[in-house]
Every structure is written in structure tokens, then in C-alpha cells.
Structure 1
Amino acid sequence: MAVSGRKQSDLLGSVAAGSAEDFDHCCEPCLTTNQRIEAHGFCVTCQEYLCKICHDVHRKTKVSRNHQILQRNDFDKIPTTRKSNNECTEMCQVHKKEIIKFYCPSHHALGCNDCITLGHRTCKVDYIPEKCEGIADGKEYEDVMQKLGEKLKEASEISKKAKGSRININDYNKEIIKAITEFRKEINDWLDQMQKDALNNAEEIKSNTNKIIQHVLDTCENTISGIKCLQSSLHASKSTHQDGQLYIGMKRAESTLKSDELNDAEQTLMHTNMHYSFQRNSELETLFCKKMVFGEIVDHSRHESTKVTKTVDRLIGKGDINVKTSSDMTECFITGCSVLNTNKLVLADNHNQKIKLISIENRLVQEEKALDSRPWDIAVMSQDQFAVTMPENKEIVVMTTDDKLSCVRSIKVNRSCCGINFNQGRLYVACLSPPSVIVLNTKVIS
């Protein structure tokens, strides 16, 4: 509702200011039109806070010109306990001229008198002006605000994961392009078209994956924005003692808390291919005259790359990598080895009780991590995490290469565990005494 004498630019400025900071007191007439504007005065007669514009209009209007109004400096004279307002003011979205006054617990629906008459005649409904009495000081309000905070934190964490995934997929795409380009230098010019096809394939994968990530980010941002808006609205309704509106807001908040959007977004992110590398076509290295695909984009996140059975004609040595370091106390005894990506592999040095991270490109030990017992085998779980069996401690240690080698968690298995493998979100662990295989669901573990 427009106020006489108020310019549009002034209104926009006031709203912008209200969204940029929190006020101790907001103009209550303006709150009815969803505008948070700082209070300039307080009408003792109407028991309402007023902004500068509403204050001036209050002074001029015949009905209210003789009301007692306190200025901002005298707000401390206002009684700390004001009578709660149980009146509902929000209009029904279906029946535009009716006010929302009822809530149906069976259908979790807010509605006006017409809504209840037409759609909830047999339901046991709550009359909001009666039901909202004392709600601002109740446990239900605290629970809703706490759950909104938890939902906000969850959305922020998933958003952080999605942003990290975006960085990783771009890094892997750069590695793919580099591998494709290097391989291309070793073959004849007639492979140009095949090279173009492979690059387009990699670019398409990056594009499609980024679209999924962007969808997750948009979901998180929308949830964060919606929760912040709900929190602000609930806080405003409580501070202005609008218990009816507070009740309505809390019920809306409960619907938001029950939403599965965030969980669906996280599941989408978890099941989206994030780890790719370029795998050379070995036949092209010896048979350049035969037309075939330039290479494959291998999905390491699922560990389900298609294997083609073929006869091995010969094995070509590519050189040795010295994995012994100056801090080793005895000769190396490598019992486990797994490839993390196209540039790194991780080793289990049993005798030296270490995990070693190897740079394939530089052919040297890039980093090492000392353990409290002897490691045996390694299984890569994701682009930066892997599991290590520790037979002496009867446990599995999950480690990460994020920033540096470090232990993420320990999983007790109460058996001497040796061999380990990872597939489709599960760890398969071969154990001794008694001989058995343990299957662990990593989603439950995390």
C-alpha cells in the first residue's frame, strides 16, 4: 500500500537499508507489506513502532494527530512487555480478499475461512488466533529456528562440496587435454580428426558435469536464500509480537525443513561422474595405419571402466621409480600399490610403516606419512581418498591427499585385515583368523 507523499526512490532506499542490517525496532505498519524499515518513533496510543514517513503521516491524520508519540531517544521508556497481537493479517493467495486464519495439521495447509469450508470441512483444524497464544516463548519456535540453522549449515556444506567438485572437474579436464595433446605428437597428421573427436568428447563431459554442478549450486543458493528470509521474517514477527504471522511463518518453515531438495541435490552430486582421465589406445602405439578411436575418457569415480580382452603381444618397460627415502629405517617392502590419477600413485611400505605418495611424471617420492603399525594393502575410494588395511591393529585407515597426506578416520574390523578393494560405494576387505570377506558401505561409514 503506497503512503501519501512517499517517493518510490525513498521506499527502495529504505527497503535496501533494511535488508543490509538488523534494526532493534522496525516500522510495524510497513511490515504488513513485507518492508523492513527502521523505526523512527513509537505511538503509545496505537502501541506501534513507526518509520519516518509513517510517523509524519500519523501526525497529520485527523484520527491519530493527537496520539502520544515517543521519539527514538525515548524508546527506553516503552514498557518491556507489550500485549501480543494474535490478529492474522496475511491475505489468502487463493481467496484474495480473505485473511489466513486456519491451519489444517492433517494436510499441513494454511487457509482462510473459504479454504477450510471448501477443502477441509471434515478435518480438525486449528484457529490461529487461539492456537498462537504464547507461541513466541514456546519450544516449538526454538525448535524451528534451530532446525532452520541446521538446514542452512547443511546447504552451505553441500554448496562447498559442489564448488570443490567444479574445481576438480576443471583440473581433470586440463589433464585430459594435456594427455591427448602429448599423445597426438607421437602419431602422424592423419589422426587430426580423431583428436578433434576426443577433445570434443572431453569438453562435452565437462560441460554436462558442470551443468549438474550448477544445478546443485542453484539449489543450495535458493535454499540458503529462502532460509535466511524465513529466519528474518520469524525474527521480525517475534520482535513485533505478531504471533499470528509468526505461527504462519513457522508452519512455512516446517515445510521447508521437510523438503528433500538438498538431499536430492547431494545425491545427484555424489552420483555424478567427477573423475576422468585420458587412456591411450595401446594398439595405436604399434599400428598407426589402422583406423580406430583416439582414446577413452575413463571414469575413475565409479571404477567401472569397460575392459577389452585382448592378447598381449609384448610388454614395454617404461623405467623404474626409486621409492626409498632418506628417513627409511630398513629396506622397502611394498605390499600395496594403487593409482590415484594420471600423475600420482600411492604405496604401502610395510617394513617402514609408511604410506608414500609417488609422482609418476617426476618419478620420485613426493610425500610420505608414517603410521603406528604396518600397512598392507590400498584401495582408492575417490579422487583424493583411499583406504589402507592395518592387519596388526585390526583396522582400516581412510586417508586423504587433500593438501597433504593425512588420516581422515579409522574403522575397527576386529580381524586381521589384508587385501582390500573398492567398488560402487563399498569396501571389500579380505581378512584372516577367521578367513572371511567383510563388506563395508562407505556411505554409512561417513
Structure 2
Amino acid sequence: MEVSGKKLRKYCKPCEQRKVSKYSDGFCSQCEEEMCQRCFDTHKQWKLFREHRLAASVATASSKGKTPTFDNCTKHLNEPIKFFCPEHGQVGCGDCMVISHKTCKVEYVLEHIDGYKDGKGKQFKMLKKDIETYENEAKSLLGSIRRNKNHVEDVNKKFALDVKLFRDEIISQITKLADAMLKYGDDIMAADMKKIENLEKENKSLVDETTGMRDTLQSEADQPYKLFISSLSYKQNLHLVRDQLERIKANNTIEKYDFTRDCNLEQLMKTCKQLGVLHKPNESGAALREESVKANKATPVAKVLCSPKDQPLLDRQLVCKNLIIDGDLISYAEKTKGDLGLFIDKKTVLWDSFEIEVMSIGRNGGIAIGVVPDNYPNNLLLGLGNYSCGYHSDGKVFKGSKSGDKCGNKWKVGDQIRVKM
């Protein structure tokens, strides 16, 4: 500003606050105040203000553009947001910097606005490009999310349908088995009823016959001749009546029967904790299956292809302990008392060989296959007891002894083991 051809000198603001009138030596663009050289040097001693510069005038300080209007800090009212901490990427007022960033190298906001002027700065363009990239990605992802939203019910419907279908198959099979069992009982009842009805008719005819004899003899009591003739005839008939009564007595029996639950099915109901497995593709199960295939290929043990099984496990009379049977799969039941899972098929061996396929080696890797007598203890591994023979997963054969003979390599997942009788 000029007055009467002379420049108007301005006073130092910090000195005015101390009620001292002293001319300004320049303008601190960061503090936006006129200062004398002494006040400027004094406030530059503080780390927060070391990067400040003293311009010759306000016009010089704002020669690159008009000084912007600063927003007020939300934490410290009426304090302008003028400072920037590059280390933390945060802006704030002077109080924010002193409190939260006193160990950081704080810079002035105006020193970083060149890259954002008029929306043409390089930094602004890079930021805008990133925003557009993420916006397009978010829009694309939104479409995928909406498609998945539509598929949620479809996936659940298929899942529920499979569960219900399996449930209905189980119910149908159980109903079929129950109907067969009930029919067997009905057949026995029908046969007994038919036999009893025939005995009843036969016995009734004997009653009628003996009653007729008695009435005839009573009617001929005053006729000795006829009474004698009839008596002779009835004596011969009574021998036949006696034999017929003895036969009726011998046949007057019915077949008594009751129902005994299948021990395997009962054990399955007790040990089965779930109807099936909720399978999620591309999870650890696939990786485990991959490892199993690799182990199978690397196993040097000779493999014998399993012949088709002539009878499902669930159709047999079984003795099981600590085991879960699912179709033709046998697995050890966890959280059971004891560490031995014994499976015995109480069926006369009519074939010359049988086999198993190792689906999982388990935690301890202890599996055995073999034959034992009927009275074999349920808590003893096959081959260790008398009159038993067992081929164990350690590659040894045990014949009624606790010491085994080396027969092959240790079993691995995928191996098929055959026992030749």
C-alpha cells in the first residue's frame, strides 16, 4: 500500500502482542504474519518452524497464487489446518503437530499444493486414475456379488434336496427291511394259524364222534344184544381216536419268535454323529486327496486289484468295537474308551481270499487284517492271540504270537491288501 508517494511500513505482529511497536522486516508465508528479523529468528529455533521462510512482502509470499483459506481443525476449534506430516500422511493444526507429531519432520501444507492446482497436477492425476481404477473394480465386483446373491438360494436348495433325498433313501431302505421282517413274522403267523385251524377242525370231529358213541350206548342200555355189538365196534374205533388225539396234542404248538436288533445297525446309530459331510470344493480335502494319490504312486508294494464285494458290510452279522462303518468303509471312532478298534465278521469263510483298501493310515497307523476263531477276545489285535493270523500295517505277519515275521513294506494310503487263505 502506498500513501502520498511513500510505502506504508507494517509492524511486527509478535511485537504488537507484547505491546511493542517495531517495524516488520518481512512476511512469514507459513505463519501468515509480518515479523521483524528478531521474532522470525526466535520462532525458527523451534523444530516445528525451522522450514519457514521470510518473504519481503505479502505479495512475494503469495506470488505463486492467492493464499488459500484454511479449514479449521475438528479437534482444536478455530485452529487452521496448515501443517502436514509426511511420515504419517496426516494434516492438522499447529496444536495437532505439537501433540501428536512432535518427533516428526512437519511441513507446511502450501508446499504440497502445486501438484493439485486446477486439477492438472501430476499427483492429482495419479490419484484420480487410481480412484477410477478402484471404482471400475468395485462396479465389477458388485456384479459378482449380486450374482452370488442370486445363487445363494440355488446352492442351498440343491444342498437341501441332496440331504432330503439321502434321508428318504435311508427311510425307504429301513422301511423295506422292516416290511420284509414284518412279512416274515406274518408268514409264520399265517402258517401257525392254518395249522391250528386244521387241528381245531380235526379235534371237533373227534368230539362229535365220541359224543355220538356215548349217546348210542345210552340209547341201547336196555338192549343187551345191540349194546354188545356196538361196544365191540366202538372199542376198535377208540384205538384210532386215541392215536388221533396223540397226534393232535403233538402238533398243538406254535412257533414262538421275537425281534433282535441287528447289532451293526444299532452300533451305527449310536456312533453316527451326522448324516454326511458338508463338502466345500477347493479346500484342504482336495489337497489331502492329491497327497494320497502321490503316496499311492510312490509306494513300491505290489498291489492286487480288489474283486467286487459279494455282500455289503451292513448285511452281515458283525461284532464291532470303537469303529464306524459306512457302507464298505471302516474307520476308527474317536473319543471312545480304549485305543483298539476291532471288527469281526462272524460269518463262515467260504472264499479263498479277501482284501481291503487303505483310505487313511490314521494317527498311529495301526491296521491289521486276518482271521480269528469265534471265541477270539475283542480287545486283542489280530494275530496276537492263539489260533489267529494277522497281517499288520507295519509289513509283518503275526501267527498267534506277539512277534511277527517281515512280509512286506509298511502300508500307505491307497494300498490294496489281500489275504490269501
Q: Same fold (TM over 0.5)?
A: no
Structure of higher RCO (CA pairs closer than 8 Å, 6+ residues apart):
1
Structure with greater helix share of residues: 2
Higher strand share: 1
* TM-score, normalisation: structure 2: 0.28
